[in-house]
């Protein structure tokens, strides 16, 4: 009987430890995050980079009940250990205001080089020999 109680206590302690360790991993802050600063008549959205490297961010905000429509995405480079203002939202009066957002973080901005020097040949043209 005593052995059975001891096993239950150990099993309970192991489960408790596993549960608490999972909670600790979920509560850690993200290195690049959206920071909302609510003022009296506006909401300012910042992106904060807590890493030691420059990051490239893509921010798409879908606002409802704000004066300025922010449908266009914002792409910016965020220096290390800094906070950059991305958008200012001004709420309409007597309307419920809320927004959703998509924040995509990349290590660097990818540039696409297009060679515009190529000549296009139509199908029906005859090339000289």
Which domain CATH number covers 37? 2.60.40.10
User: What digits encode the pLDDT tens for the residues 55-84?
Assistant: 999 999 988 888 866 578 899 999 999 999
Residue 97 DSSP class:
-
Whether residue 58 is contained in a domain is answered as yes
Q: Is residue 91 part of a domain?
A: yes
Do the beta carbons of residue 55 and residue 106 sit within 8 Å?
yes
User: Does residue 53 lie in a domain region?
Assistant: yes
The pLDDT value recorded for residue 49 is 93
pLDDT in tens, 91-109: 998 889 899 999 999 876 5
Q: What mean pLDDT, rounded, does the chain reach? A: 78
Let me know if residue 60 belongs to a domain. yes
Query: Please, what's the b/e burial string for 24-57 (b: 16 or more CB within 10 A of its CB; e: otherwise)?
Result: eeeeeeeebebeeeeeeeebebbbbbeeeeebbb
> How many domains does one find in the chain?
1
Distance from C-alpha of 59 to C-alpha of 14, rounded to nearest angstrom: 42
Asked whether residue 40 is domain-assigned, the answer is: yes
Which structural domain range is residue 55 located in?
26-106
Model pTM score = 0.60
């Amino acid at each position: 009987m005593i052995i059975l109680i001891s096993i239950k206590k150990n099993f309970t302690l192991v489960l408790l430890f596993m549960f608490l360790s999972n909670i600790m991993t979920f509560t850690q802050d993200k290195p690049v995050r959206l920071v909302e600063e609510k003022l009296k008549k506006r909401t300012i959205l910042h992106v904060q980079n807590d890493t030691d490297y420059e990051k490239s961010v893509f921010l798409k905000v879908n606002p409802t009940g704000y004066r300025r429509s922010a449908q266009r995405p914002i792409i910016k480079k965020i220096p290390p250990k800094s906070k950059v203002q991305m958008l200012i939202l001004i709420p309409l009066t007597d309307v419920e205001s809320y927004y959703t957002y998509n924040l995509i973080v990349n290590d660097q901005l990818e540039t696409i080089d297009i060679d515009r020097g190529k000549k296009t040949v139509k199908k029906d043209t005859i090339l000289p020999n």
